[in-house]
Homo-oligomer: A and B are copies of this chain.
């Protein structure tokens, strides 16, 4: 596995792979890898001839007072995990490499970023869209793979690639969960033992709403109340949003017709966690 820090070198390596006719699969991450990330890499190995992973804790997608500084990092462990997954190139640029002095260009995706995390984290998706545009231009992947835990992020990136006429297919992969249902996230690492216990309620709330949906309920009001009631049982959980949104546009819906995304964001102590479940007519 080649580890590359410079943009110039990354471009050359990627260009060389393309010249060999290789299909490039790309998994952009912020590191501190878990099984969820590894599942994206396995998908990448399956669909591409060459697998490139990036690790970059992107400052522009963190708001003021968010956890940029304390975001967990363990590059040596991450390298070993990438090697284990057969990653060909690990791209680990510095902040200065990605945002040099006088950096001033940003990408905004509008409608799809209005709701959910776009409301609670102003500027977050601007940072995401900007860094992903840059990473796509540097790596030039044929296929890029993202997790569905950040479902809105996936929608933003699909929109961005389409709107800016990028030659990349953006693929989402199902959420990877701990045995008790908690969605895997590098941020789970922040939780105390007590908080970790409380965090189980998030998936329980999603499951509860899905149960009621599967029994035939279609009203957003009823479904969301079912989810909220599960969250309310646990005093450590402070819900930020519990919403039902269209899978493509991320607009809130009053009723589920064919399918919709039930998305939850909560705070547990200082930690912000998100999760979601797809409600789809069987």
Contacts and interface: CB of A to CB of B under 8 A. Distances in A.
A257 interface: no
A50 interface: no
A164 B110 contact: no
A102 interface: yes
Interface in A181-220: none
Contact of A108 (B11, B106, B138): B106
Contact of A104 (B103, B105, B112): B112
Contacts of A249: 102
Nearest to A129: B105
A88 to B, nearest CB: 20
A134 B165 contact: yes
A107 B106 contact: yes
Nearest to A166: B137
A164 B100 CA distance: 11
B164 A105 contact: yes
A133 interface: yes
B110 A107 contact: no
A222 to B, nearest CB: 30
A137 B108 CA distance: 17
Interface string A133-171: 110011000000000000000000001100111110000
Given A165-B137, A165-B138, A108 B105 contact: yes
Contacts of A163: 103-105, 134
A49 interface: no
B133 A164 contact: yes
A104 B164 contact: no
Given A104-B109, A105-B159, A106-B110, 14 more contacts: A11-B165, A11-B167, A104-B110, A104-B159, A105-B107, A105-B109, A105-B163, A105-B164, A106-B107, A107-B108, A107-B164, A133-B164, A137-B164, A137-B167
A108 B108 contact: yes
A108 B103 CA distance: 12
A249 B102 CA distance: 9
23 contacts: A11-B167, A102-B249, A103-B163, A104-B110, A104-B111, A104-B163, A105-B107, A105-B108, A105-B110, A105-B129, A105-B160, A105-B164, A106-B107, A106-B108, A107-B107, A108-B108, A133-B164, A134-B163, A134-B165, A137-B164, A137-B165, A137-B166, A137-B167
Contacts of A137: 164-167
Residue in A104, A109, A133, A134 with the greatest tally of chain B CB atoms within 10 Å? A104
